[in-house]
């Protein structure tokens, strides 16, 4: 599993995931806020399955 999520992309995913989870936990949004687990997980792991399927890569080349 090769990393395909780059620096800024990871930061945005983690931030969006945490915000959605926080809003769901406080009852501000409905159950769909728990979907924030997906961008949080992909941001933490650094690998996104749809990116792999579609051939996207936001990591800098080494």
Residue 59 forms part of a structural domain: no
pLDDT for the residue 27: 96
Residue 5 and residue 56 in contact, taking contact as beta carbons nearer than 8 Å: no
Containing domain of residue 37, as a range?
7-54
Structural domain total, the chain: 1
Residues contacting residue 53 through CB under 8 Å, at least 6 positions apart: none
Mean confidence (pLDDT) of the chain: 94
pLDDT for the residue 62: 61
Determine the Cα angle at 20 with ends 28 and 56, to 5°: 155
Average the pLDDT over 4-12 and give the result.
Answer: 95
Residue 61 forms part of a structural domain: no
Residue 62 forms part of a structural domain: no
Residue 41 forms part of a structural domain: yes
User: For residue range 15-26, what is the model confidence (pLDDT) as tens digits?
Assistant: 999 999 999 999
């Amino acid at each position: 599993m090769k990393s395909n999520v780059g620096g800024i992309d990871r930061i945005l995913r983690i931030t969006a995931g945490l915000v959605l989870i926080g809003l769901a936990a406080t009852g501000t949004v409905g159950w769909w806020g728990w979907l924030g687990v997906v961008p949080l997980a992909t941001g933490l792991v650094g690998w996104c399955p749809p990116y792999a399927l579609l051939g996207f890569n936001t990591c800098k080349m080494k």
